Structure 1
Amino acid sequence: MNTENTHEIVVLGAGYTGMLAAVRVARNTRKLNVAVTLVNPSERFTERLRMHQVAAGQELTVYRIPELLDGSGVRFVRATATAIDPAAHTVTLDDGATLTYDTLVYALGSGTDTGNAPGVAEHAWTLNDPRAAHRFSQRLTEIAATGGTVTVCGGGLTGIEAATEIAESHPDLTVTLISSGEPGAMMGDRARVHLNKALDRLGIIRKIGVKVTKVLPDAVRLDTGEPLASDLTLWTTGVKVPPLAAQAGIATDTRGLIITDPTLRSISHPEIHAIGDAAAIRMPWGQVHGTCQTGLPTAAYTADTIARRLRGKSVAPFRIGYFHQPLSLGRKDAVIQFTNADDTPNRWYLKGRPAVFYKAFVSSTPPFAYKLSKHMNAQVQLTNGGRATRRLA
């Protein structure tokens, strides 16, 4: 695709998956005529696993992408991809520049969907961006001085972590968690008992079995018709992906995720690899949903696969299984539900201080993995799912 016969690999997105894919494929192709370019709108690496801590007012280590890439051989371009032309193998950037690729790694991830109820985009906050999370924390401090109210919408892991972090950091606030189902419903009974004890201990009010139909500047309206006063509303429910792939004519599912073959290549454009939240990946047990524990393995696998194909070697299908559901409950408590390959809970769980250390280790792993991957192929996959993911011949 270029006059210098250099194989151009472009990675879109420098989140958890894009960072690892770029660093690892650069190392694995170091002796080949390959150039790797990583594109991202910001120079700051966002630790999505820890945005609830930022929202509660905690200061985290700031990682700069150029510093994380130093010595890897990856070229960093600070820009936003605005269009992909699969026929011409080009990516258009918001600064007017165009990148040409031979292989494209699509790692644009996902964010909270703010369009699934009126008023969310205008009046609710999300954890999509560290700058917004920091501004949210400043507002928290302001309303805590008057004993204000905070509403967290969504009873999944993100909503629970945010609610408990806020309640622990600001005990003078009234924190309400709204969930259409049982908070932590994906966990086993014993893990949920511990979770609910933590919610009780922190004084978090639960509204379960209801949905928010509208977000107002100072309240939310439930599907029961009940208005609920809310000085600050945090929205953590619903997921959306960038429309870039669908707009380019790349085969996507109804949610906009790139449909992949067993080796994580686009079924319509095999020179495009999709990883993490951007990919529609199916295992024999069902659809893989976006988490860091599956995203990093897709990145490592894709980096290794690209290098193997460039060397003319065979490639085995991608296999993954879930291992755990780590959940922090503030800084002093946590619960870890261990799972079967299909993410259903098994009998084992961890709670209290041991779980706190476990969760802290999990959350801190990615930046370390990027640094290590400059020198060796770091192990990032906890399990390939065993028999549950073996395809029939």
Structure 2
Amino acid sequence: MQHRIVVLGAGYTGAIAAGRLARRLRPEDVTITLVNPEPDFVERVRLHQLAAGQDLKARPFRAMFAGTGVRLKLAGVTAVDVERKAVTVAAADGPEPGAEEVLEYDTLVYALGSGWNDGGVPGATEHAHELSSRAGALRLRDRLAALADGRSVVVVGGGLTGVEAVTEIAEAHPRLDVSLAVRGTLGDWLSEKGRAHLRKVTGRLGITVHEHAAVDSVGYNHVTTADGRSLPADVTVWTTGFATHGLARSTALELADDGRIVVDGTMRSVSHPDVYAVGDAARALGAEDKPLRMSCASGVPMAWQAADAIAARLTGVKVPEVPLRYFNQCVSLGRGEGLIQFVTADDRSVDRALTGRLAAFYKEVVCKGAAWGVANPTMGLPARRRPVVTAGARTAPGPVPADAPTV
């Protein structure tokens, strides 16, 4: 009997997990179905570049997973029943878009990620642009291109996404009046050297920084801060954080308060051992037992951990469990500038930072490396496959969907 593995979501974590499983396991022992509504991989860490007007390389999944045995199912996930071990999906293409189908699994990898979080701020959903999806980045791209010279753009949020977005937009559109609204002070999570460099770059790009400016409402042409300031904003870009996919809340999985699935050190659900969660969807603990932040830097090693643990349990070998830790935060500040902030294992800044063009090159290498890892999911395939010694508890193999071809 083939053990049925279903992976939900093909962002960095889902795609890497599916490819790594294909590298670890034999196709005669397992089926691996990767469910995703889009046919191309989205480089989420580059969406600020897309929004600013740059074109990104197309990365179709069918080419990436060709010859691996991973089955691509173009569909959106509508329900997960962890008691029945079944997933309901709605076709994203084909002769009957929207037609629902049930996929049964023996092992589920939940990698549905996160979307933008408006924080409940009035007007944010109606008037602000988001950068958590390709569709959102493209809408923002069109809006920025249509603005007349001198019109105002306000990026709300001073974290990594906000800083990367505001510098990219200001560099690509010097004719616009670009500003950044931050709750505290600019770069307050960085070292002294990192903060100084960030101020230098934003100043050179002509970005106005509004500090201690928590935004509590968004209008069609302005934002209002908690202390009563009204900032003109022909375009508002909202980057204050991410929210998990709401689907998990409708399941019986144990969740943290923020909606993330609680997992152990191998990314296995603490309530349902046949479910693994990776990336932004999972609440995993890193150094000092601190929850890992939502990021590609967290998600990729989580995917490695989950795939290796699943393969080990199926093949009867020792389950690896490598402590997850941080080394640095990589920040692009436009195309020619960057900031690499070195951090402790639990993600606190230390007094070491790399800046300038070398830092920009470093960040570009990191981004390309992450994309390469997704695009080459089964490097070393022949030497690493092991036979499955346990196929899971079920009586017969499930059918392979006709419209989920082996790619």
Normalising to structure 1: TM-score of the pair?
0.92
Deviations 1:26-61 (A, max 9, x none): 121126510000001111211110010011111111
2:66 is matched with which residue? 70
1:89 is matched with which residue? 85
Is the counterpart of residue 108 in structure 1 residue 104 in structure 2?
A: no
C-alpha displacement at 1:284, in angstroms?
4.5
- The 2-side partners of 1:51 and 1:77 are apart by 24
1:160, 1:183 within 8 Å by CA — same for their partners in 2? no
Code of the aligned partner of 1:217: Y
Is the counterpart of residue 266 in structure 1 residue 269 in structure 2?
A: yes
Gaps of 5+ in 1: 378-393
% identical equivalent positions: 43
Deviations 1:193-218 (A, max 9, x none): 01110011011111111211111111
C-alpha displacement at 1:163, in angstroms?
0.4
C-alpha displacement at 1:240, in angstroms?
0.6
1:26 is matched with which residue? 22
Is the counterpart of residue 293 in structure 1 residue 297 in structure 2?
A: yes
C-alpha displacement at 1:243, in angstroms?
1.7
- The 2-side partners of 1:164 and 1:348 are apart by 22
- The 2-side partners of 1:359 and 1:331 are apart by 10
2:4 is matched with which residue? 8
2:246 is matched with which residue? 243
1:115, 1:121 within 8 Å by CA — same for their partners in 2? no
2:6, 2:33 within 8 Å by CA — same for their partners in 1? yes
2:121 is matched with which residue? 117
1:206 is matched with which residue? 209
Tell me the matched-pair count.
Answer: 372
2:340 is matched with which residue? 336
Q: What is the root-mean-square deviation of aligned Cα atoms in Å?
A: 1.3
C-alpha displacement at 1:142, in angstroms?
1.6
The alignment partner of 1:341 has SS state of coil
Code of the aligned partner of 1:212: V
Code of the aligned partner of 2:296: C
Deviations 1:103-135 (A, max 9, x none): 000111112102420111111000122132122
- The 1-side partners of 2:268 and 2:111 are apart by 12
Where do 1:1-393 residues align within 5 Å? 5-30=1-26, 33-94=29-90, 95-143=99-147, 145-285=148-288, 286-376=290-380
The alignment partner of 1:8 has SS state of strand
- The 1-side partners of 2:367 and 2:187 are apart by 19
Deviations 1:41-94 (A, max 9, x none): 111211110010011111111111222111221000111111111111000012
Deviations 1:146-178 (A, max 9, x none): 320000000001101100011111111111100
Deviations 1:304-361 (A, max 9, x none): 1111111112213341110111111111111111111011122321111111110111
- The 2-side partners of 1:332 and 1:367 are apart by 20
Normalising to structure 2: TM-score of the pair?
0.89
2:79, 2:88 within 8 Å by CA — same for their partners in 1? yes
Gaps of 5+ in 2: 91-98, 382-407
2:115, 2:133 within 8 Å by CA — same for their partners in 1? no
1:123, 1:216 within 8 Å by CA — same for their partners in 2? yes
